[in-house]
Amino acid sequence: EILDVDYKSIVEKDSEGLECITFFVIVEAEDGEETVIREGDYCNIHVTSSYVFFTEYHSQDVYYFPKHNPENIKKFSPGVIENK
């Protein structure tokens, strides 16, 4: 089970200028170690009792994973409900 979800940012220069790379970090409850589960530029990190949701900054794609299994990242694609 996850104790906390956080992110760290590092700014590095690439061939075209500055690029901000955000490391999405999980802190394990048992030993306190930080584990990077996804590298990229992310925002809108939301934690519920069972899931963690986050948005890829440039594409606005939303991803999620269960708190008990952070390696199981999936794209969030809810169905559209039509009013009849």
**Predicted local distance difference test score (pLDDT) of residue 68:** 80
Radius of gyration of the chain (CA): 15
The tens digit of pLDDT for each residue in 26-68 reads 666 666 777 777 777 777 878 888 888 888 877 878 999 888 8
The helix or strand, by DSSP H or E, that contains position 53, with its residue range, turns out to be strand 51-56
Token pair listed for 48: 């519920």
Token pair listed for 33: 């170690």
The model's pTM: 0.66
Whether 8 and 21 have beta carbons less than 8 Å apart is answered as no
**Of 45, 7, 1, nearest to 23 (Cα)?**
7
